[in-house]
A and B are shown apart, each in its own frame.
Chain A
Amino acid sequence: MGFSIPDQSVASWRDLMKTRLLAAGLATIATQGMADTPVLTVLTYDSFASEWGPGPGVEATFEATCGCDLQFVPAGDGAALLARVQLEGAGSQADVVLGLDTSLTDAAAATGLFAPHGVAAPTGLPVPYDDPLFLPFDWGWFAFVYDKTKLSSPPTSFEALAASDLKVVIEDPRSSTPGLGLLLWVKAAYGDRADEIWAGLADNIVTVTPGWSEAYGLFLEGEADMVLSYTTSPAYHLIAEADDTKAAALFDEGHYLQVEVAGKLAATDQPELADAFLQFTQSEAFQSLIPTTNWMYPAVPLAGGLPEGFDAFHPVKSLLMSPADAAAARGPALDEWRAALAQ
């Protein structure tokens, strides 16, 4: 008796499962591409590939013109994506990686696994961003989101937040990209005073969650007055739930940007398709899907303008460290953060 299941039985229970699904009229399982259709494999984060993310729309639109089968491979959240690329190394089946953010691109570039994309930098970002290896496809401002019905005068800076007795939930910079974004935000805004800011915030922080969804969930459950999220979060509630009670607090020191990028893997066996896909990420067809499925700003200005709610919270100042600065700042900032909050 061994631990592995014989392949045959695996095949048969898979088949069984498939027939059951079909019988239930749920033929939504992925269809295998025809043998002669080239397959473009895009490694991305879960919520991009999921049914309610941009994935299905992107797939349908791109496949209509590429004569290929576009397959998304979900790899967990944004932070897991880079680990996955490194795990797979040069042997990866993926052709394109979509969804790294600029706090990770320095490390991603250092792997040597990416090839230049050759596409002109998009123009819709609030700060110029041009990287030969990584092409931005969307972006957003980190912000603290609150409920207008419960909080009438939100703080206008980290210092005001620290001075208030408001409670906030944040994400852990060691396990999530928004958490890391906040760490870099405070560093970019305050430099050497960052540890002082963190010490001031210590009694405002209810808790630190492993990821964005836990933090946002706690906020919606009423565990905190504010949560670290994006300026676009209120737009989700407005558009998807017709709920206009959520708002983002605008901070005078500026808001840190999350810029999400795509890159081509050097070892791809479909370089032309990969190039075509990267070009496609800059198209109106792709970009117009972004606001209401990924709840971020498009990297290229949309012909029809932005949906309702996306102009509601517009910071006056944008902060973004270069990938190299972000990578260099991370370790010391993390120690600072830990020391200030661990008491």
Chain B
Amino acid sequence: MALGLALALLALVLALVLAVAWRGTGLALGPADWAAVRFSLVQAGLSALVSTVLAIPVARALARRRFPGRGALITLMGAPFLLPAVVAVLGLLAIFGRSGLLNRGLEALGLPTVSIYGLHGVVLAHVFLNLPLAVRMILQGWLAIPSERLRLAGSLGFGPSEVFRHLEAPMLREVLPGALVVIMVVCLTSFAVVLTLGGGPAATTIELAIYQAVRFDFDLGRAAGLAGVQLAIGGVAALAAWGLYRPTGFGAGLDRRLEVAAPAGWRLWGDGLVLGAVTLFLTLPLLAVLLRGLPGLAELPAQVLPAALRSVLVALVSTVIATALALTLALESARRPRGLIEAAVTLPLATSGLVLGTGLFLLVQPLATPMVLALPVTVLVNTALSLPYLYRVLLPETRALQADYGRLAESLSLSGWSRLRWLVLPRLARPLGFGAGLAAALSMGDLGVIALFAGEGQATLPLVVGQLAGAYRMEAAAAAALLLVTLSFALFWAFDAGGRRAAA
């Protein structure tokens, strides 16, 4: 069944690209397109690398330190990832922009100001959006090192560097490739962030070229070709990560709680510095989003509320489906690693939202009025797009589950519903909650597809935010965006906390 699902997912992505290609004619990529491909690769690669590398010390500090507010900080880590791109950009600009906090501070000190626009700004924004995701993925790896192994390390008198070499480095080796690929692929299709902060046409991505091909040239063949290039890059990245994967072979522990050793001295100061810096980096722009949105809250137009309800509903349905599918795939993949599944769960991320929407539109239109299917189609796309994150979050855990308890479960005939109820759900509650929270929040923020399908009275909250901003109502748009972010975060928090409670 899992293989069938993987095939269905692949078929969905490829069929939609083909549907677009079929309506178009031939493809020739010009020098400008290749420049876009190069720039896309560079910005996505850099963004992924910086996010993951910076995430390592943060995750380590969170793993080995206990302090008041630690739980809140970890939860907060979810927030930036859930921001709609345009909202995140405005939040970042309040801090790093031309008249942002940083430059005002520099001016006050008589220092030269810095510009956020350019490749470095794009990377900064992508790091802001994705560093938290990387931290959570790596932190999970840290927490998954069995306490028995840490105790052994303690008894052997391992110092921090030996612990790193023998325990932490193998763990990172297992976790990092997946984190790198997810972030790289998601940055590959980033559109609004790159365009707004890129500073000009030098920062042109494949996604923009697709946009242009569909919007102005109506050259669907070109759009599909570019989408194919994007898919190919995503596919290669997924397979590379699959090839790099090395299991740690730490084996299981007895769920005893034993904290990672917390070395004192300069390492304590270092951890404090890292945590302080990352907290500032993540919270200041969030605070700016909050402050921008508050004034308009009182006079939000009435349309916002039904749109919000619609968004929440779509998010919940998408989450249930995506979680069930991702769990099925991750369990199967843990039993037997398969390139097919890896590709199937990575490619949706590399799919251009516009091509996905256009393809669906072309497929649906002969069968039904697109408007009638607006919400189901949105659920479908949200499911396909959030599944990869869920899968990444679940996979290390299903692998550990299979390695540690696969034989015991088999010997006891623990299968089907019983296995789910007594083994999978209790042992995976934490990552399931986190992953479902991510999926729910992502589904809240999803745009692009609904825009093609929504008719009168079917707009989701992100669409309404865009409509408000498009009609000069920037204050109301900021307030609606704040509502969107708050709802996304509330959903994320509810699932995440639910998972943690179930696991406790």
Contact = CB atoms under 8 A, between A and B. Distances in A.
Interface string B302-334: 110110011001000100010011001000000
Contacts of A212: 470
Interface residues of A, number: 78
Given A29-B457, A52-B473, A224 B200 contact: no
Interface stretch (A83-91, A114-122, A155-163, A261-269): A83-91
Contacts of B451: 46, 75-76, 80
Contacts of B362: 87
A1 B198 CA distance: 43
Nearest to B30: A335
A144 to B, nearest CB: 16
Provide the main secondary structure of the chain B interface: helix
Contacts of B90: 217-218, 221
Interface residues of B, number: 80
Contacts of B117: 206-207
A214 B8 contact: no
Interface in A299-343: 330, 335, 337-338, 341-343
B361 A87 contact: yes
A289 interface: no
Interface string B325-349: 1001000000000000000000000
Given A10-B376, A167-B98, A222-B97, A28 B306 contact: yes
A34 interface: no
Given A26-B306, A28-B306, A207-B117, A77 B218 contact: no
A216 B376 CA distance: 33
Nearest to B98: A223
Interface stretch (A13-21, A184-192, A271-279): A13-21
A239 to B, nearest CB: 10
A20 B192 CA distance: 34
B201 A51 contact: no
B382 to A, nearest CB: 12
A11 B326 CA distance: 25
Contacts of A104: 216
Given A52-B473, A206-B199, A341-B201, A221 B309 contact: no
A157 B451 CA distance: 38
What 3 A-B pairs have minimum CB-CB distances, sorted nearest first? A222-B99, A213-B469, A30-B457
Interface of B: 1, 5, 8-9, 12, 32, 35, 86, 89-90, 93-94, 97-99, 115, 117, 191-192, 195-202, 204, 208-209, 211-212, 214-216, 218, 301-303, 305-306, 309-310, 313, 317, 321, 324-325, 328, 358, 361-362, 365-366, 369, 371, 375-376, 379-380, 383-384, 451-452, 454-457, 459, 463, 466-474, 477
